[in-house]
Structure 1
Amino acid sequence: MDPLAKALEPHLDALLPELEAIYKDLHSHPELSMQEVRTAKLAAEHLARCGFEVTTGVGGTGVVGLLRNGSGPTVMLRADMDALPVVEATGLPYASTVRAKNEVGVEVGVSHACGHDLHVAWLMGAARVLGEHRDLWKGTLLAVFQPGEEVGRGAKGMVDDGMTERFPRPDVILGQHVMVGTAGTVGIRSGTILSAGDSLQVQLFGRGSHGSQPQTSIDPVVMAASTVLRLQTIVSREVGPLDSAVLTIGSLQAGTKENIIPEDATLKLNIRTYDEGVRDHVLSAVKRICCAECAASNAPRDPEFTPLNSYPMTVNDAAATARVMEVFKARFGEAAYETAPAAASEDFSHFGRAWKTPYVFWFVGGTDPGVYAKAKAEGQVNRIPSNHSSRFAPVLHPTLKTGLLAMLAAAGVWLCDGESAGHA
């Protein structure tokens, strides 16, 4: 049922101190999206030591390790490497104090506020034990360290760099993400597990003037305020009650001084949906409303729409997910559960879509069990610092081992079952 993880588990406890040191080093040295030079170098060197053929610079800073171990299925394991422009406030002794310039040259604090450092450590651990115990499995392993997940460009960048032509086509692609949840648990589901995510910038144009003479202006601040309020009706009045969508205006910027009516205003929006039809409707409605509000204000020109990033839905393959769920139940018992879809988004599915191959993505709980149980009992789970919070800090044990075991158990479904592996 779970031959690979079961056989390898006795070797993991000796490896955990090394992985913890790797994790803390990565946590202390975060790098912004598409700037993961140091992390990529560490991953590449680690893969080489483990006997992988290593290719660097894929799609920017992406790293691909290839380990051939006889005939059998090809399994791809993926970890994302990038950190966020967030000043860390965890108080951990290994907390990040890094500052770096973002893509527009602004210096920002940087931290692994989403847990990608843990993802890298998990994959490095899996590469190590699989490289050292090739007698326990057969097939080909692709270990992929991906840049730029947080900006939605990393997976697509690797694909656009010829990844599907340069490396063997996987029979299955596997990925995981640390989330708020009891440490030691894994959550998985067939079908949609993560929403589609679309972010865009909308620039509204007015006519500037002195604050004492509003009649000579076309006020973009009023235009923006009306637009923000009207945009909220898309979900409440245009999306059906049995469907789901989230629309957030995370930024509204206009003007520099209280007595100057500015020339323009800029909105930044984020949209999450679980259905392609709903997604298309919401995006269309955003443009319709922005244009209509500008027309109502007699704006001198139509608004300007600039896409910021776009993430497809993550939809787990039913047959492959059933096989992974079975092995998770064998490995973790009741700690393996069927999760609800999350409103977060990922670019992980670009790989499966490009290769037209099944993929499976799941969650690993990273919250201290006592803390989570107390918060749940008090109805305060939403107060636990979550991914992207400056105070997000997964508890290392048992999270480190759980994620490593989950990755090995899932990979073993194919690597230890060559005859049926290609038919998931």
Structure 2
Amino acid sequence: MSYIQQGTKTYKFASLALFFAGLVTFATIYTVQPLLPIFANDFGVSASVASLAVSFTTGLLALCLLVAAPLSDRFGRKRVMVLSMFMTSLIGLFTAMSPDFMTLLFLRALLGVVVAGVPAIAMTYVVEEFDPKVLGKVMGLYIAGSSIGGMSGRLLAGLFTDLFDWRIALGSIGLLALILSILFIFFLPNPKNSAEHTLAPNEILRNYTDLFFNKRLIVLISLGFILMGGFIALYNYFAFVLMEPPYELSQSFIGAIYIVYLAGTFSSIYMGRKADVFGKPAVIQVSIAIMALGAVLTLGNPLAMKLIGIIIFTFGFFGAHSIASAWVTQKAGHHNAQASSLYLLAYYLGSSIAGTIGGFFWSSFHWGGVIVFVLVLIALAYPVVWYARKN
């Protein structure tokens, strides 16, 4: 096989292309999160209904992840990723022109369908095309693009909304995504090591059926739902808190809060190393406890306490998520690709379902209700870890 070698021009361009792929995908998915209070106000809908702008996208993304990978087997890795990025960018532009909330929701749902092409395929492309000696580095660059994309999409949305309005904010991010998508076409080499073929439906079904007979693995996969559900439920409604008295913060400030994702970038590496020393079950339980501590601190009235709480919560989440995803892959054996798909399915379903349910707690019990919901949800992780760690 002919691999992309470190130090070559091809390596540099391919690595940059994958960074762009992660950035475009996750900037577009989460760019509306800090805008939920504005949607609620401008369109006259409740907080839980406004949150559907995120939930529809992540829910359909979760389901389409299972379809995107077989499509790439049939039509080619690069073709599917290119189509995904272009459609993602164009829908981002069209969303800025939404005349009403129902149109916006329709476009955000459609985004969930087309955006699945990158997260479902990018890691497979890396494994197949790059020299095995540099897989960790290249994979890290793609994940860095995803993390920075999620952070910058939220940050730019808040800044541009303050300077102009939310439509110009979404349109600007959509235009930037389109430019990066064009560069992606020229930077990413055509795959050489993945032959186009069609996987028989019964073979796909057999692979997933084997996993469902592994009860401890399936229980462990549910951690994706629990962790991401709690994370998104808290973040969806934190912006509502900060826009109310006595804080009444600007959209720029609220968008800038997502810089705390950098704490998550650090914790995913740091807690991963600790898991190698003390074991995944022990460290993931510590990470969940850190999440709970951070959530409780956001109940304090001082703004500084709330911000410290959100940093601690974010640190705990990314630590727990990185360990859980690695644990799932390790336990799955030769079905690790299918297990990773199921973990991502649970992960994004958690974002969609729990993110929306959190809105009902906000409407009925305000911020305290949201935090109780988050704490109860992440507490479910402890019996899951206990059951999964048994031999």
- TM class, shorter-length: under 0.3
- Structure with bigger strand share is 1
User: Larger radius of gyration, structure 1 or 2?
Assistant: 1
State TM-score, norm by structure 1.
Answer: 0.23
